[in-house]
Amino acid sequence: MKYVFDTCTFIVLSHYFPTRFPSFWGRFNDFVSRGAIVSVKEVLRELDNDACKTHLRAWINQNKHIFLPPAPDETEFVRKLFEHPQFQHLVKKKQILTGAPAADPFLIASAYVRKACVVTEETKGANTIRIPDACEHFSIVCRDLEGLMEQEGWTF
Protein backbone atom coordinates (compact mmCIF):
# COMPACT_ATOMS: atom_id res chain seq x y z
CA MET A 1 0.00 0.00 0.00
CA LYS A 2 1.11 3.58 -0.63
CA TYR A 3 0.78 6.26 2.02
CA VAL A 4 0.39 10.04 1.76
CA PHE A 5 1.53 11.77 4.96
CA ASP A 6 -0.06 14.81 6.58
CA THR A 7 1.82 17.54 8.44
CA CYS A 8 0.58 16.43 11.86
CA THR A 9 1.94 12.93 11.29
CA PHE A 10 5.39 14.31 10.53
CA ILE A 11 5.16 16.25 13.80
CA VAL A 12 4.36 12.99 15.62
CA LEU A 13 7.40 11.44 13.90
CA SER A 14 9.54 14.14 15.49
CA HIS A 15 8.97 12.43 18.86
CA TYR A 16 10.68 9.29 17.53
CA PHE A 17 14.28 10.35 18.08
CA PRO A 18 16.48 8.45 15.58
CA THR A 19 19.06 7.48 18.21
CA ARG A 20 16.32 6.00 20.43
CA PHE A 21 14.18 4.42 17.69
CA PRO A 22 16.65 3.25 15.01
CA SER A 23 14.58 0.21 14.02
CA PHE A 24 11.52 2.41 13.43
CA TRP A 25 13.50 4.85 11.30
CA GLY A 26 15.08 1.96 9.38
CA ARG A 27 11.66 0.64 8.36
CA PHE A 28 10.28 4.10 7.73
CA ASN A 29 13.22 5.08 5.51
CA ASP A 30 12.91 1.77 3.65
CA PHE A 31 9.30 2.63 2.80
CA VAL A 32 10.38 6.12 1.71
CA SER A 33 13.14 4.72 -0.53
CA ARG A 34 10.63 2.32 -2.16
CA GLY A 35 8.23 5.19 -2.87
CA ALA A 36 5.58 3.82 -0.49
CA ILE A 37 5.54 7.04 1.55
CA VAL A 38 5.02 10.42 -0.09
CA SER A 39 3.50 13.76 0.74
CA VAL A 40 2.60 17.00 -1.00
CA LYS A 41 4.40 20.33 -1.46
CA GLU A 42 1.87 22.11 0.75
CA VAL A 43 2.80 19.80 3.65
CA LEU A 44 6.43 20.82 3.13
CA ARG A 45 5.36 24.47 3.30
CA GLU A 46 3.46 23.77 6.54
CA LEU A 47 6.47 21.95 7.98
CA ASP A 48 8.62 25.00 7.26
CA ASN A 49 6.56 26.67 10.01
CA ASP A 50 5.82 23.70 12.28
CA ALA A 51 8.83 21.35 12.33
CA CYS A 52 10.91 22.51 15.26
CA LYS A 53 13.00 19.44 16.11
CA THR A 54 16.46 19.44 14.56
CA HIS A 55 16.41 15.78 13.54
CA LEU A 56 13.07 16.17 11.74
CA ARG A 57 14.28 19.26 9.87
CA ALA A 58 17.42 17.36 8.83
CA TRP A 59 15.33 14.40 7.67
CA ILE A 60 13.02 16.70 5.68
CA ASN A 61 15.99 18.39 4.00
CA GLN A 62 17.38 14.99 2.98
CA ASN A 63 14.01 13.77 1.68
CA LYS A 64 12.46 16.78 -0.06
CA HIS A 65 11.85 14.59 -3.11
CA ILE A 66 8.87 12.92 -1.39
CA PHE A 67 6.95 16.23 -1.23
CA LEU A 68 5.30 16.17 -4.63
CA PRO A 69 3.68 19.00 -6.60
CA PRO A 70 0.10 18.38 -7.66
CA ALA A 71 -0.35 16.59 -10.97
CA PRO A 72 -3.13 17.80 -13.30
CA ASP A 73 -5.48 14.98 -12.24
CA GLU A 74 -4.93 15.92 -8.59
CA THR A 75 -5.77 19.55 -9.33
CA GLU A 76 -8.93 18.36 -11.08
CA PHE A 77 -9.85 16.30 -8.02
CA VAL A 78 -9.38 19.37 -5.76
CA ARG A 79 -11.86 21.19 -8.02
CA LYS A 80 -14.34 18.31 -7.59
CA LEU A 81 -13.72 18.29 -3.84
CA PHE A 82 -14.60 21.98 -3.60
CA GLU A 83 -17.82 21.45 -5.55
CA HIS A 84 -19.09 20.11 -2.21
CA PRO A 85 -19.64 23.17 0.01
CA GLN A 86 -18.85 21.25 3.21
CA PHE A 87 -15.34 20.45 1.94
CA GLN A 88 -14.56 24.09 1.21
CA HIS A 89 -14.01 24.37 4.97
CA LEU A 90 -10.83 22.28 4.65
CA VAL A 91 -9.16 25.59 3.80
CA LYS A 92 -9.63 28.24 6.44
CA LYS A 93 -10.47 31.81 5.51
CA LYS A 94 -7.29 33.03 7.24
CA GLN A 95 -5.19 30.71 5.05
CA ILE A 96 -6.79 32.20 1.96
CA LEU A 97 -6.36 35.80 3.11
CA THR A 98 -2.74 35.40 4.22
CA GLY A 99 -1.56 32.95 1.57
CA ALA A 100 -0.68 30.44 4.29
CA PRO A 101 -0.17 26.82 3.21
CA ALA A 102 -3.29 24.68 2.97
CA ALA A 103 -2.30 21.06 2.48
CA ASP A 104 -5.52 19.19 3.24
CA PRO A 105 -7.23 19.26 -0.17
CA PHE A 106 -3.98 18.42 -1.97
CA LEU A 107 -3.26 15.60 0.47
CA ILE A 108 -6.69 14.08 -0.14
CA ALA A 109 -6.33 14.51 -3.91
CA SER A 110 -2.91 12.88 -3.93
CA ALA A 111 -4.22 9.84 -2.06
CA TYR A 112 -7.29 9.59 -4.30
CA VAL A 113 -5.30 9.70 -7.52
CA ARG A 114 -2.60 7.31 -6.24
CA LYS A 115 -5.17 4.95 -4.67
CA ALA A 116 -3.18 5.45 -1.49
CA CYS A 117 -3.95 5.81 2.20
CA VAL A 118 -3.94 9.21 3.89
CA VAL A 119 -1.93 9.12 7.10
CA THR A 120 -3.10 11.87 9.46
CA GLU A 121 -3.53 12.27 13.18
CA GLU A 122 -6.79 14.13 12.64
CA THR A 123 -10.04 12.50 13.70
CA LYS A 124 -13.50 13.01 12.26
CA GLY A 125 -14.92 16.38 13.18
CA ALA A 126 -17.96 16.76 15.40
CA ASN A 127 -18.70 20.34 14.35
CA THR A 128 -16.34 20.81 11.43
CA ILE A 129 -15.17 18.95 8.35
CA ARG A 130 -11.74 17.36 8.61
CA ILE A 131 -9.55 15.12 6.47
CA PRO A 132 -11.12 11.82 7.67
CA ASP A 133 -14.58 13.13 6.77
CA ALA A 134 -13.54 13.90 3.19
CA CYS A 135 -11.68 10.59 2.91
CA GLU A 136 -14.77 8.69 4.01
CA HIS A 137 -16.93 10.57 1.50
CA PHE A 138 -14.59 9.70 -1.38
CA SER A 139 -13.82 6.14 -0.15
CA ILE A 140 -10.16 6.91 0.55
CA VAL A 141 -8.48 4.83 3.24
CA CYS A 142 -7.42 7.05 6.15
CA ARG A 143 -5.27 5.99 9.12
CA ASP A 144 -3.08 7.50 11.78
CA LEU A 145 0.59 6.58 12.24
CA GLU A 146 -0.27 3.76 14.62
CA GLY A 147 -2.79 2.46 12.08
CA LEU A 148 -0.06 2.39 9.44
CA MET A 149 2.20 0.43 11.80
CA GLU A 150 -0.63 -2.00 12.52
CA GLN A 151 -1.47 -2.37 8.80
CA GLU A 152 2.17 -3.10 7.99
CA GLY A 153 2.74 -5.36 11.01
CA TRP A 154 5.43 -3.16 12.49
CA THR A 155 6.34 -4.01 16.08
CA PHE A 156 9.40 -2.81 17.93
User: How do residues 99-114 score in pLDDT, each as one tens digit?
Assistant: 888 999 999 999 999 9
Predicted pLDDT of residue 61: 96
* 19-72: pLDDT as tens digits: 999 999 999 999 999 999 999 999 999 999 888 899 999 999 999 999 999 999
CATH topology classification for 3-152? Rossmann fold (3.40.50)
Could you tell me the pLDDT band of residue 125, with boundaries at 50, 70 and 90? confident
- HEC states along the chain? CCEEECHHHHHHHCCCCCCCCHHHHHHHHHHHHCCCEEEEHHHHHHHHHHCCCHHHHHHHHHCHHHEECCCHHHHHHHHHHHCCHHHHHHCCHHHHHHCCCCCHHHHHHHHHHHCCEEECCCCCCCCCCCHHHHHHHCCCCEECHHHHHHHHCCCC
pTM for this predicted structure? 0.94
